[in-house]
Each structure stands twice: as structure tokens, then as C-alpha cells.
Amino acid sequence: MIGLGRLPGWLALAGVLIVAAGFTAPGHAQQNDPGDEPGLIANDDYELPPELRKQMVFFRTSEPPGTIIVQTSERYLYLVQGNNRALRYGIGVGRDGFQWQGLLKISRKAEWPDWTPPPEMIQRQPYLPRFMAGGPGNPLGARAMYLGSTVYRIHGTNRPDTIGTAISSGCFRLVNADVMDLYDRVPVGTKVVVRQKPEL
């Protein structure tokens, strides 16, 4: 791969934006990762497959209404409604080595969030921007919900074609329309349960 330092200034900047488009959360870059492929999509007209579109589903859980449950193996996020019902959203999840489980709360919410790559990411990929303002080209998409004091977020994406895949560095991504819908439904303090597999 040619170093960005050898490219004209405008082309080097384009390369930075293209690489940044695939980034989700702190982690290492991986060859042939669909999120790192060239192309700044930012396309909200992309149509999700029917099974990944937001829909009300039967969902049995002991968690109270308003709880978010993420099931990474299924690539779904559920917002519990009660009476064995939940709103289900298709999501992108962490790739191998970046998946996790646990219990957290939404600690902060942001519209069109800025992106500041962490130091460890800059160390591995020094060509990345040190800061990217929020907007359609930002890899965090239209909304972000921060999970506890971790680096993980539930957020939008400028790569809607990656929903349903294991591609991120541990964050959970939704298409912008879905993350805006979820954002309006849940307050700061919402309980978030992350599971690898469905509850038995």
C-alpha cells in the first residue's frame, strides 16, 4: 500500500477519509475487512434485507420494558416493550477478538457525534485523522449512545451495507434511520444487556 506521504495533499486527505469510513471503535485494522474497503458510502437510501429491518417481534425475557438487549450471535438489538414483545433492529457487531458481553447503562447521548481516534489506534494507524467532526461522512453516523465508561457505543454508520456483519471493534452499529429511532426512545441511564447468545 502506498504511503499517504507520497500522495498529493488532496489525495492524501481523501485516503484518510476513506480509511476512516470503516472505523467503529478502538481496535486494530484487519486486511480485507469490509469496513475498510475504499468508498465513503454515507448512503441512507441503502435498503436493508427484510430480516434486518426494524420490526416488532415476539421476545420473551425477564428484563423490564425499556431495557436494551444485544445478542451478538444473532446480529440483533432488542428494545424490550413488555408482554413478550420487543422492537428488533438489525445491527453490525464486533469482529472475532472484539466481541464482549456484560451489563452497562447508557451514560451519554450525542447527535451527529464527533470522532476522536484513541491514542492506541493512532499508534497503529498514524495516517488516521486526529479528529473528525460529526456529519454524514463520519463513521459514527447520526447518533451515538455511549455505554458506561467504556470505549463502546451504540451508534449509526456511514456504511449501511455492513449491518448484519461482524465487522466493528466492539461497538454496535445501526443504519442511521434506526439509530435515530432508538435514540429518541431511550434516555440516559437505560440498562443495556450484551449477550453472545440468546437467553435460554
**pTM for the complete prediction?**
0.76
Which among 95, 155, 159, 173 is annotated as catalytic? Answer: 155
Within-domain flag for 196: no
User: What are the pLDDT digits (tens) for 60-83?
Assistant: 999 999 999 999 999 999 999 999
- The pLDDT of residue 45 is 66
- Within a domain: 78: no
Q: Give the residue from 159, 162, 156 showing the smallest Cα distance to 177.
A: 156
Give the Cα separation of 137 and 158 in Å (integer).
Answer: 6
Q: What is the pLDDT of residues 5-32, one digit of tens each?
A: 433 443 333 333 333 333 333 333 332 2
* pLDDT for 126: 87
Burial environment of residue 37 by CB neighbours within 10 A (0 to 12, 13 to 18, 19 or more): middle
On whether residue 81 sits in a domain, the answer given is: no
107-136 pLDDT, tens digit each? 999 999 998 877 876 886 788 888 989 998
Is 28 annotated as catalytic? no
| Residue 22, pLDDT score | 34
Q: Which of 19, 42, 171, 175 is catalytic?
A: 171
Cell for 109? 447521548
C-alpha cell at position 124? 497503529
Q: Decide if 108 is inside a domain.
A: yes
Q: Is residue 41 part of a domain?
A: yes
Specify the CATH number for the domain of residue 144: 2.40.440.10
Instruction: Name which of 117, 164, 156, 153 is nearest 140 in CA terms.
Output: 156
In a domain, 197, yes or no: no
Q: How far apart are CA 108 and CA 67, in angstroms?
A: 16
154 domain-assigned: yes
Quickly state the pLDDT bin for 197 (edges 50, 70, 90).
Answer: confident
Looking at residue 54, what is its pLDDT? 97
Distance CA 71, CA 134 (A): 28
Q: Is residue 79 part of a domain?
A: no
CB-CB contact of 33 with 176 (8 Å): no
Contact 137, 158 (CB under 8 A): yes
What Rg value do the Cα atoms of the chain yield, rounded? 17
Number of domains in the chain: 1
Segments forming the whole domain that contains residue 153: 4-49+90-187
Compute the distance between CA of residue 139 and CA of residue 112 in angstroms, rounded to an integer. Answer: 10
